[in-house]
Amino acid sequence: MLKVTDHVLQILAGLPNDPGIYQYFNADGNIIYIGKAKNLRKRVSSYFAKEHDSAKTNLLVRQIADVKYILTETEFDALLLENNLIKKHQPKYNISLKDDKTYPWMVIKNEHFPRVFYTRKFIRDGSSYFGPYTNFKVIGTIMELISQLFKLRNCTLPLTQENISKGKFKVCLEYHIGNCKGPCQALQTEEEYNQDIEQIREILKGNINNVIKYLEAQMQQFATDYKFEKAQEVKEKIDSLENYKSKSVIVSPTIHNVDVFTIVMESNSAFVN
């Protein structure tokens, strides 16, 4: 067993069996390692129980003069907190997360005819960010659903009303294959486009039922107006949303049960954690 100071032994004895993150400090009071654990007592104690196969780990343990921890609700919360603290403090012995990698966000870009995509870069430009997500399957499922339900542009053209009215742009292949409705040539109004964006915003918040109710009312109105083809298109969207919701990937009628931990909307100076 490695040599452990009385101070560290006292801390180990009082560690809870709860999820959280732990921080190791050296004699100078500097953070040298940050980790996460499903069970703090078991995880932290394991460092001091024996000599390790890794020379780096043995060297780390010999430098530990103090241990501090932060409790979290779940192991997932601990993972997110660990990532953020490592980025902030850059501990000497944390190698795997010291680069620029981080968890991705879904973003609704702050621009005319907003694009919706995922990104690892959080840019404070007034865009709305949803996440972060630790599961790339979730990101893929969301993007697949959005592309199935909505025909959004993915180009980076500056689609201001002035540019569009001057005829600066022409529709591309995405329009011809049915993936975009051609806002660059005023074939779709900004008001119509933003209605889709608001539905996407609700989906990203986890408010699937609100979107379904909106679409059901829209479908009924189309049917009343004898626009049966339009009504069928909306019905297909509803079916897709119901199927998506039944898989319980991230969506729930209540926001506290979904894989969305932060929603940032700078344009309204709102930060929800």
pLDDT tens digit sequence for 161-170: 999 999 999 9
For the cut 70, the answer to whether the pLDDT of residue 144 exceeds it is: yes
Q: What is the pLDDT of residues 222-249, one digit of tens each?
A: 999 999 998 998 898 888 878 776 653 3
Domain boundaries, the chain: 6-89, 105-272
Domain 6-89 sits in CATH at 3.40.1440.10
Task: Please report the pLDDT score of residue 102 as a whole number.
Answer: 66
| Comparison of pLDDT for 185 and 4, the residue scoring more | 185
Beta strands in 115-188 (DSSP E): 116-119, 128-131
Q: Which amino acid is present at 250?
A: I
Cβ-Cβ contacts under 8 Å for 229 (sequence gap 6 or more): none
Q: What is the mean pLDDT of residues 124-129?
A: 90
**Cα distance between residue 130 and residue 273, in whole Å:** 11
Q: Can you tell me whether residue 31 is helix, strand or coil?
A: strand
User: What count of other Cβ atoms lies within 10 Å of the Cβ of residue 133?
Assistant: 20
Q: What is the DSSP pairing of strand 270-272 with strand 262-265?
A: antiparallel
Output the pTM of the full model: 0.56
